[in-house]
Amino acid sequence: MSEPVDRSRGRFLHLGQMIVDLTVYVDRIPERGGDVFADKATMNAGGGYNVLWAVKQMGLSPDFFGAVGTGPMGDILRGAMRRIGVAAQGPTIAGLDTGYCVAMTEPDGERSFISVSGADAQMGPDEFAGLALRDDDLVYLCGYSFMSPGTRTAVERFAAARTEWTQAGGRVLFDAGPMVAEFPGSSLQAMIDLHPMWSMNDLEGCLLAERLGVAARGEQERCRLLSQRLGAPVILRVGSDGAWFADGDAARKVPTPRVGAVDTNGAGDAHAGVLGAALLEGIPRDRALVLANCAGALSTTRPGPATCPDRLAIEDAADKLVGSADSLVGSTDS
């Protein structure tokens, strides 16, 4: 990988968690009490690392503030970050290793997870209190942070202290994740008050809609109603059908290239990293959304978690996609 050229007008600040992915490729998920043999298995830095990798692929240098442990898993993460030139700026938790995730990937690329928390979930309640934000920064937050008491309190307090920053134009990208149906009401309200850009897949959108009492007929209406209920921009990713985007008004379709998916693990992370990087560069939001869709789609064509392609491949796919079909209606700058 060539040395990155930092084109950003601000910093990409990753306040989420990073873990190790133990990926096993299976013909099917075993039934209860059953057993299956994996065709192959890999062990790589995953979770938040996938987002960092995507940002680096766009030529930017992100900052990581999550906790890292001491032990074999923590060593894997530090080594992976060192190889791409990202420093671990968060706390090191002595005597506790980083957590990991068993990702079971089926032939169609769908994956199921079993996660084990570790040092990644151990953080002081005021860990982010001294984090100074500039007007042109972008903060990345993840719903998984709300599933452990330490990280939950740290992010909730961070959010409560930054509402004026976002009201003044500060940018937060919130990847809701599948835990959106389970994390505490205080965490959900903290995110609503912060007014981030919400990103979620269709399953997560359904879970959030049910939790908020939003009744919708179809993805487009769900995206629109969620945006209105949250009072914030919403990206609803719908796999091979692309995504819907709404910012308080009618939802509009964001196109995506058709690909042969072999592993969807990390596709949402690639989407988030590329979207945040593009917005930091001042790329118009509609173009940034298309770039993010292309990154997420192309990442599924290779096995593994951190498979976001390089910037040239992403931009080439976006140019071909927009050139072969009508693009989004209208133009909305970041």
Q: What is the pLDDT of residue 324?
A: 64
The SS3 call for residue 241 is helix
Give residue 96's pLDDT band: very low, low, confident or very high (50, 70, 90).
very high
Q: Sheet containing 12-14: which strands, arranged edge to edge?
A: 63-64, 12-14, 138-142, 171-175, 197-201, 234-237, 243-246, 252-254
The span from the CA of 17 to the CA of 12, in Å, is: 15
Q: Is 60 exposed, middle or buried (0-12, 13-18, 19+ CB in 10 A)?
A: buried
Give residue 287's pLDDT band: very low, low, confident or very high (50, 70, 90).
very high
Q: Which tokens in the block code for residue 82?
A: 């060192």
The span from the CA of 234 to the CA of 246, in Å, is: 5
Average pLDDT over residues 259-271: 87
Q: How many CB atoms lie within 10 A of CB 330?
A: 8
The SS3 call for residue 113 is strand
Give the helix/strand (H/E) hosting 46.
Answer: strand 40-47
Q: What is the pLDDT of residue 4?
A: 44
Domain with residues 12-19+46-98+117-324, CATH architecture: 3-Layer(aba) Sandwich (3.40)
Alpha carbon separation from 127 to 18, 183, 294 (Å, rounded): 16, 20, 35
Task: Summarize pLDDT for 32-79 with one digit per residue, the tens.
Answer: 999 999 998 989 998 899 999 999 999 999 999 999 999 999 999 999
Q: Is 71 exposed, middle or buried (0-12, 13-18, 19+ CB in 10 A)?
A: middle
Per the CB < 8 A criterion, the answer to whether 21 and 50 are in contact is no
Q: What are phi and psi of 313, to 5 degrees?
A: -65, -40
The span from the CA of 77 to the CA of 97, in Å, is: 11
Per the CB < 8 A criterion, the answer to whether 238 and 271 are in contact is no
